[in-house]
C-alpha cells in the first residue's frame, strides 16, 4: 500500500469518527489521545479474532487454524523455533506466529488475547494471568576452544570474575541474573565489554576477546559442535525458571496443547 493511499485512508477514518487520530509532525506522526484509545481497542479486536480462529480450529482438532506464541528473547530466539519446526512438519496446515519481546510486553500480549501462550523468564504479577514453570534454564560460562583459561579449570567464581568478562548490556535480564548470583557471593562484576545481543557475546568469545556467562539454551549447538567450550566453575550454579503464561480461565486450543507437548518433548531430549 502506497504512502498516499495510507494517508487518505487515515484521513477518511478521522472524518468518519469526527476525531483527529494523529498529530502530523515534520518528521512523521504521533498518536493523539483519541488515536491511542482507538489503537488499544483495535488490538483487542484483533486479539478476539485470533481467539475466534483458535476456538473454531478446536472444533477440527490440530488440522488448521493459527497458533500465536509470545516469548522473551532467549526463549524466542533459541527454543521456540526448534519446536515450531517440528510442529510445522507434523501439522503443516496450522499457521504459526511468534512475537518476541521483554517479559512485560509478552504478558501484555497474552492479556490482550494477541497471543495464546507466553513463554518468559520473568514472574507474573497480573491477576488476569496464570503461570507454570515448564523448565529451568542453566547459565554456563563459555570460552573459545583454544583459550588458555580452559587449562586452569575448574575455576572458582572469584577467579572467573577476575578474567576478561563479556556481558550483555545493562538492563538485560540475563545480565541481571548473573549479577544477582555473583552478588550473593559478594562478588562485583566489571565486564571489559558490554554487548547488545547474545549472538554478539558468543561471537566475541569465539574471537577470544574474553569469556562470558550465557544461557545454555543459547549455546547448545556451539557446545555440541565444539565451536565454544563450557568452563567448569566449581562453586557457581546459576539457574532461572522458565514460565508458561496463559490467560486465567481460558481453555487451550488443540494447537496450543500440541505445541506444549512438543515443547516438553524437546526439553526432555535436551536434558
For residues 228 and 100, membership in a common domain is answered with no
Cα–Cα nearest to 169, from 200, 124, 147, 138 = 200
For residues 19 and 104, membership in a common domain is answered with no
pLDDT in tens, 49-90: 766 666 655 545 566 788 999 999 899 999 999 999 999 999
Q: Which three cell numbers stand for residue 109?
A: 500480549
Query: Residue 141 in contact with residue 160, Cβ under 8 Å?
Result: yes
Indicate the pTM of the whole model: 0.68
Cα–Cα nearest to 19, from 3, 6, 5, 38 = 38
Q: Average pLDDT of 159-171?
A: 92
**Residue 182 pLDDT greater than 70, yes or no:** yes
For residues 262 and 227, membership in a common domain is answered with no
H/E stretch holding 240: strand 238-247
For residues 60 and 149, membership in a common domain is answered with no
Among all chains, which residue has been given the C-alpha cell 545480565?
175
Distance between CA atoms of 4 and 251, rounded to whole angstroms?
Answer: 43
For residues 108 and 47, membership in a common domain is answered with yes
From residue 103, give the alpha-carbon distance in Å to each of 75, 78, 98: 11, 16, 14
Q: Which residues contact 253 (CB under 8 A, 6 or more apart)?
A: 54, 55, 57, 58, 65, 67, 116
For residues 72 and 158, membership in a common domain is answered with no
For residues 141 and 213, membership in a common domain is answered with yes
pLDDT in tens, 206-228: 999 999 999 999 999 999 999 99
For residues 217 and 252, membership in a common domain is answered with no
Q: Average pLDDT of 18-25?
A: 87
Domain hosting 13: range is 1-31
pLDDT tier at 187, thresholds 50, 70, 90? very high
For residues 51 and 95, membership in a common domain is answered with yes
**Residue 237 pLDDT greater than 70, yes or no:** yes
Identify the residue with better confidence: 135 or 52.
135
Number of domains in the chain: 3
For residues 80 and 103, membership in a common domain is answered with yes
CATH number of the domain encompassing residue 253:
3.40.190.10
Query: Residue 38 in contact with residue 20, Cβ under 8 Å?
Result: no
H helix runs in the chain, sequence order: 3-17, 33-58, 73-78, 80-90, 103-111, 157-161, 173-183, 198-206, 216-225, 254-270
Q: Strand pairing partners for 168? A: 195
Distance between CA atoms of 167 and 174, rounded to whole angstroms?
Answer: 9
Residue 1 pLDDT: 55
Q: Strand pairing partners for 245? A: 118, 131
For residues 109 and 167, membership in a common domain is answered with no
For residues 195 and 265, membership in a common domain is answered with no
Query: Residue 241 in contact with residue 177, Cβ under 8 Å?
Result: no
Amino acid at each position: 500500500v502506497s504512502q498516499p493511499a495510507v494517508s487518505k485512508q487515515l484521513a477518511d477514518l478521522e472524518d468518519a469518527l469526527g476525531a483527529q487520530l494523529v498529530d502530523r509532525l515534520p518528521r512523521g506522526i504521533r498518536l493523539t489521545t483519541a488515536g491511542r484509545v482507538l489503537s488499544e481497542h483495535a488490538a483487542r479486536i484483533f486479539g478476539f479474532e485470533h481467539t475466534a480462529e483458535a476456538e473454531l480450529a478446536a472444533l477440527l482438532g490440530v488440522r488448521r487454524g493459527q497458533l500465536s506464541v509470545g516469548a522473551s528473547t532467549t526463549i524466542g530466539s533459541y527454543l521456540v523455533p526448534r519446536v515450531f519446526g517440528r510442529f510445522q512438519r507434523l501439522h503443516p496446515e496450522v499457521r504459526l506466529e511468534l512475537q518476541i519481546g521483554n517479559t512485560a510486553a509478552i504478558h501484555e500480549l497474552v492479556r490482550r488475547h494477541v497471543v495464546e501462550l507466553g513463554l518468559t523468564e520473568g514472574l507474573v504479577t497480573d491477576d488476569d494471568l496464570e503461570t507454570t514453570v515448564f523448565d529451568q534454564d542453566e547459565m554456563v560460562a563459555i570460552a573459545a576452544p583454544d583459550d588458555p583459561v580452559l587449562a586452569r579449570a575448574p575455576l572458582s567464581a572469584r577467579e572467573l570474575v577476575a578474567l576478561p568478562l563479556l556481558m550483555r548490556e545493562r538492563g538485560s535480564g540475563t545480565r541481571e541474573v548473573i549479577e544477582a548470583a555473583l552478588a550473593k557471593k559478594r562478588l562485583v562484576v566489571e565486564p571489559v565489554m558490554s554487548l547488545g545481543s547474545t549472538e554478539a557475546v558468543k561471537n566475541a568469545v569465539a574471537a577470544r576477546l574474553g569469556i562470558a556467562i550465557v544461557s545454555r539454551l543459547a549455546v547448545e549447538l556451539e557446545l555440541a559442535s565444539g565451536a565454544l567450550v563450557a568452563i567448569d566453575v566449581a562453586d557457581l550454579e546459576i539457574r532461572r525458571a522458565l514460565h508458561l503464561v496463559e490467560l486465567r480461565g481460558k481453555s487451550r486450543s488443540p494447537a496450543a496443547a500440541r505445541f506444549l507437548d512438543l515443547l516438553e518433548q524437546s526439553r526432555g531430549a535436551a536434558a
